[in-house]
Structure 1
Amino acid sequence: MKINIFWFRRDLRLFDNKGLNAALEAGKPVLCLFIFDDSILKELPEDDARVTFIHQQLAKVNDQLKKHGSSLLVKKGTPSDVWAELMEEHELEAIYTNKDYEPYARRRDGKIRDLAEDKGVEFKRFKDQVIFEEKEVLKDDGNPYTVYTPYKNKWLSIYTKKDSEVSDIPKKPSFFEKEFEFPSLEDIGFKKSEIEVKDYDLSDLEKYGAVRNFPAKDATSYLSPHLRFGTVSIRNIISGLFKSEQKFMNELIWREFFMQILYHFPIVVDHNFRSKYDGIQWRNNEEEFEKWKKGKTGYGMVDAGMRELNATGYMHNRVRMVVASFLCKHLLIDWKWGEAYFAQKLLDYELSSNNGNWQWAAGTGCDAAPYFRVFNPMTQIEKFDKKHEYIKKWVPEFGTDKYIDPMVDHKEARQRALDTYKEGIDS
C-alpha cells in the first residue's frame, strides 16, 4: 500500500501544521520524518543549544504521535541521500512539507523535488511559517517592497482574520502505524547543552511598547526561538493579538519583511544590499574583534550584551542594535563578521532577520539607518539603563577601578567611521 511522508523542518509541532494537515487529509497513511542534516550539523559545536532544543521538541512530537499508534522517524545524513534511501524502502505517493524561503533550503528542496519526480512521487509544499509569503505583499507594480513602512501598511491592509485561522489535526488521523527507535543526542553526535531555550510569555504584551527598550526590565516575550523552529504557529500567535498590541505585531511583520527581502534578493547573504557601500575599507582588526566577542570593549552596554549572548544565547533587541553599531562603526569591522558570530550564538538565529538587522546597523541594507547615524554607547546607557541594572548583571566590575578602559574614544571613532564611509561611497 502506498503511503505519504510528512517532512518536519521548521515546524516542530502537530497543532496547526499546514503541510501535516494536508498530508493527513489526503487519505493515505502518513509517516512523519525529521532529518538531521549533516551539511548543517558539521558547522556546529557538539553542545549546540539549538540542536538540544530541536531534539527536545522532536521527543515531544514523538510522544504525541505514539498516542496515535505511530512514531517519528528520525534520520541523519544529507537530505538527498536520506530521501533516495526512503524511496527505495517505501512505496510513496507524495512527500508533504512546509516551505522554507532561505537560499540553502530552496536549493535542497529543488534537489528533493527532482529526485521525487524521477520516481513518480509528488513533492508538495505549503505555506506555514508566515502569514504572507514572498509574492503576497507586493507593490502595485508587482515588485517587492524594499522599505519596511509601506510593506507593513500593505500587509495590514490585506490582512483578515481568515489569514490567521488555525486548525488541529483531524479527529481520526491516518498516521503510519509503526514504532521507530527514537535516537538520543549522542546517537546523532551531540551532547546536551547547558544553555536552555526559555518558554515564551505573551501575557503582558499591552506594556510591550512602553518597556521593550529597557533591557533590565526583561520584558521580551522570548517567542523568537519558538517561531524560528516552529514549535508555535504564527497564525495562532497573531490571531490572539489585539489592536493595543500593535507594537508587537509590527515586530512580527518585520520578520516577514526580512524573509521576503532574502527571497527576492538572495545576494544579501554575502553582499551589501546597497552596492554603493561596497567601497568601504573595513579595518577588520582581529584583536579588536576578539575583544568585542568577549565583551571586553570598555563600553558597559556593549560588554553586557556580548556577555549575555555568550552565556545564554539571548540578547535584548535594543542592545543588539548598540553592539552591532559599535562593531561596524566604532571598530569598522565588516558587518558580515558580526552576522556570522551571531549566527553561531543566537538561539533565535534566522538568516533573514539576522542579515537584515546587521545590514540595518551597518547602513548598507535595504531599509537601513543612514550611515552617519552612529549610536553613542554612553548615551544609550543614560536612556535605557540609567541605574546600570542590566549592565551590572553581566559586567559586575562596571563602574569600579577593575573595569577596563574604553578600547576606542567615541568621538574619534565616530569621526573615523564617517570619514571611512564617505570615502567608500565616493570611491
Structure 2
Amino acid sequence: MTTQALTLVWLRRDLRTFDHTALQTAIRQGRPLAAVFLFDSDILAPLPAHDRRLSFIHQCLSELHRKLAELKIPLYFRHGRADIEIPALAAEIGAKTVICAEDYEPQAIARDTRVAAKLIAADIHFQAVTDQVLLAKSAVMTQQGQPYQVFTPYYKAWLAIANEQYAGWQSRDDWPALHRLQQKLPAALPASPPPPSLSSLGFQTQPLVQAGGETAAQAALGDFLNRLADYPLTRDFPAKRGTSQLSVHLRFGALSIRHLVYLAKQADNEGGALWLKELVWREFFQQLLYHYPDVANNAFRAEYRNLAWQNHPEWLERWQRGQTGYPIIDAAMRALAQTGQMHNRLRMITASFLCKDLLIDWRLGQEWFAAQLLDFDLAANNGNWQWAAGTGCDAQPYFRIFNPITQSYKFDPDGRFIRRHLPEIAHLDHHFIHAPWLGGSNIDRNGYPAPMVDHAVQREKALVLFTDAKLA
C-alpha cells in the first residue's frame, strides 16, 4: 500500500487518545502511524448476539475513529483471528513495527505470543508496552522475589514503588505521557472507513445505561470527582450514586489508569485515599492472574480445590433469575440482567449467597457474571469471586459469610434499591421489605417467593464444608 516505513498500533483495551502509551511510543519512533482494532473471532464467536459489550465497544471505536482521523492517523478494522489478521495488515501497509499494550490474561498472552512469532518471521518488530496498569508484571515483589499473595503488604509495597517512580511529579504537565496527542506526523495512508456495523458482525445494538467513548468517560470522571469527598460515606449504598461509575471506562481503556491514580493522590482526602486503594486492588488482581494463571479456573488455595459443592441446578437458576426469596439478592440479580451493572457491595453479597448459602461452586457464579457484566474483567471478576467464596488469597476466608438480611437493612435501609427492581413487594414498608416472610400471612407478596433456604442453617453447612476440606 505504501513504500514508506510505518508503525502500526494495535488497539485493544486502550480505546482513547489521552495518555495513550502505545500511541505515544509510536509517535516517538518518528514514522507515520496507522492503527488497527481487531474484532477477534476467537473472542466473539462464543458470545450471544445480544451481548451489550459490543454496543459499548462500538461507541468507543466510532469516537476514536473520528479523533484519530483529525490527527491523520487512519484506524483500520479487521475481523478474524489475531495471528492471521494483524500480520497480514502489517505486511499490507508496510509496517516495520507493531505496538500494543500488554494484556495479562492467559488467553491474551497466548494470542500475543502467536502474533509476535508471525510478525518476527516476517521481519516485523513486535513491541508491547505497559498501559492498563501502573505497575506491571513483576514490578511489585516480596523481598524474596515472589509475588505478593495478600493485599495489604502488596498495597504498601505498591505505594512505595509508585511514590518513588513518580516522585516530584506535582502537576499533569510533569507526566511525560499525560497530554493529548499533538504531534501530527505526515500521513502515508488514506483515511479509513468507520467501524463496521454490529449487524455485519452478527450482533444486535443494545441500549446502554452508560455511553461508550472517551467523551462520555471524561464526563463520568468529572462527575465522580465532584462526589469524591463523599465517597467513603456513600460507596456502600446501592440506592445512592456513591460509586465511581468508572469501571467500564477503565475496563475498555477509555480512561487512563495513570491519570486516575494521579487524581486520587492529588485529592489528598479520605475519598481520594479510599479510591486509590480500590485502584490498587485492581492491580493486585491483575498481577495475581499474571503470576498464577491457573486461578482463572481453580481455587487459589489448594485445600479448597475439591470442595464438595452441592450445585443444585434449580437453585442456580433461581439465583440467576432473582427468585431466591431474599429481596436484596433478587433486586441485585434482576438489575444485573436488565442493565449489565451491579454495585460492588451487591457483588459481594450475591456472590457470598451463591457460595455460602446455596453451596454452589464459585466458578458457576463467575461464569454468569462474565456473561452479564458490562465491565467484565477476568482478573477482577475472578479475584472477587474467590475472595467471596473463601477460596482465594485471604487469611481467614471461610469465616466471612454475609447475612443477606442484615446486609440489606444496613446498606438499603429504606428499601429504595429493592423497590426499584422488585415491583411485587414495592408496597411494603421498610420493616418488611427486607424480609417479607416476617410479616406472615398478613403480607401481600404478589407471588414473590418465600426464602429458598434458611440462612442460619446454610451458614453452618458452609462452615462444615470448608472445615472438612481443610482437614482432608
**Preserved CA contact (<8 Å) 2:22 2:100:** yes
Deviation at 1:175, TM superposition (A): 4.7
Distance in 2 of aligned mates of 1:65 and 1:84: 22
Q: For residue 75 of structure 1, give the secondary structure of its aligned residue in structure 2.
A: strand
Tell me the residue number matched to 1:405: 450
Q: For residue 142 of structure 1, give the secondary structure of its aligned residue in structure 2.
A: coil
Taking the TM superposition and a 5 Å limit, the aligned residue runs for 1:206-221 are: 206-221=229-244
Amino acid at match of 2:461: R
Tell me the residue number matched to 1:288: 315
Deviation at 1:337, TM superposition (A): 0.2
Taking the TM superposition and a 5 Å limit, the aligned residue runs for 1:17-96 are: 17-96=20-99
Distance in 2 of aligned mates of 1:104 and 1:175: 34
Tell me the residue number matched to 1:187: 200
Tell me the residue number matched to 2:326: 299
Deviation at 1:185, TM superposition (A): 1.5
The number of residue pairs the alignment matches comes to: 427
Taking the TM superposition and a 5 Å limit, the aligned residue runs for 1:171-250 are: 171-182=183-194, 183-198=196-211, 199=216, 200=220, 201-202=223-224, 203-241=226-264, 242-244=267-269, 245-250=272-277
Distance in 1 of aligned mates of 2:359 and 2:408: 22
Amino acid at match of 1:243: D
Q: For residue 217 of structure 1, give the secondary structure of its aligned residue in structure 2.
A: coil
CA separation of 1:420 and 1:21: change in aligned 2, threshold 3 A: same
Bigger drift between 40-49 and 355-364 goes to 40-49
Q: For residue 418 of structure 1, give the secondary structure of its aligned residue in structure 2.
A: helix
Q: For residue 159 of structure 1, give the secondary structure of its aligned residue in structure 2.
A: helix
TM-score, reference length from structure 2: 0.87
Bigger drift between 319-328 and 385-394 goes to 385-394
Distance in 1 of aligned mates of 2:186 and 2:302: 52
CA RMSD of aligned residues (A): 1.6
Deviation at 1:88, TM superposition (A): 3.9
Distance in 1 of aligned mates of 2:331 and 2:200: 36
**Preserved CA contact (<8 Å) 2:27 2:183:** no
- Does residue 385 of structure 1 match 2:442? no
Q: For residue 9 of structure 2, give the secondary structure of its aligned residue in structure 1.
A: strand
CA separation of 1:55 and 1:175: change in aligned 2, threshold 3 A: farther
- The one-character-per-residue Cα deviations of 1:250-271 (angstroms, maximum 9, x if unpaired) are 1000000000000000010111
Distance in 2 of aligned mates of 1:111 and 1:278: 31
**Preserved CA contact (<8 Å) 2:325 2:452:** yes
Bigger drift between 140-149 and 167-176 goes to 167-176
Deviation at 1:167, TM superposition (A): 3.2
Bigger drift between 387-396 and 62-71 goes to 62-71
CA separation of 1:266 and 1:93: change in aligned 2, threshold 3 A: same
Q: For residue 94 of structure 1, give the secondary structure of its aligned residue in structure 2.
A: strand
Match among 369, 376, 393 for residue 349 of structure 1: 376
- Does residue 395 of structure 1 match 2:438? no
- Does residue 126 of structure 1 match 2:129? yes
Distance in 1 of aligned mates of 2:191 and 2:398: 57
Deviation at 1:214, TM superposition (A): 1.0
Deviation at 1:407, TM superposition (A): 0.3
Tell me the residue number matched to 2:179: 167
**Preserved CA contact (<8 Å) 1:49 1:196:** no
Deviating beyond 6 angstroms after TM superposition, the runs of 4 or more aligned structure 1 residues are none
**Preserved CA contact (<8 Å) 1:227 1:234:** yes
Tell me the residue number matched to 1:277: 304
- The one-character-per-residue Cα deviations of 1:180-225 (angstroms, maximum 9, x if unpaired) are 2222222222121123425523221111111111111121111000
- Does residue 373 of structure 1 match 2:385? no
Deviation at 1:137, TM superposition (A): 1.1
Amino acid at match of 2:463: L
**Preserved CA contact (<8 Å) 1:24 1:170:** no
**Preserved CA contact (<8 Å) 1:361 1:369:** no
**Preserved CA contact (<8 Å) 2:90 2:98:** no
Distance in 1 of aligned mates of 2:182 and 2:142: 38
Amino acid at match of 1:14: T
Tell me the residue number matched to 2:345: 318
- Unmatched tracts of structure 2, length 5 or more: 426-432, 434-443
Q: For residue 230 of structure 2, give the secondary structure of its aligned residue in structure 1.
A: helix
CA separation of 1:85 and 1:171: change in aligned 2, threshold 3 A: closer
Deviation at 1:83, TM superposition (A): 2.3
Distance in 2 of aligned mates of 1:215 and 1:130: 27
- Unmatched tracts of structure 1, length 5 or more: none
Match among 6, 9, 18 for residue 9 of structure 2: 6
- The one-character-per-residue Cα deviations of 1:28-87 (angstroms, maximum 9, x if unpaired) are 111110000001101111121111111111111111122233431000001011024224
Distance in 2 of aligned mates of 1:374 and 1:388: 22
Deviation at 1:176, TM superposition (A): 4.2
- The one-character-per-residue Cα deviations of 1:361-411 (angstroms, maximum 9, x if unpaired) are 110001265212211111111211111111111112234422210000111
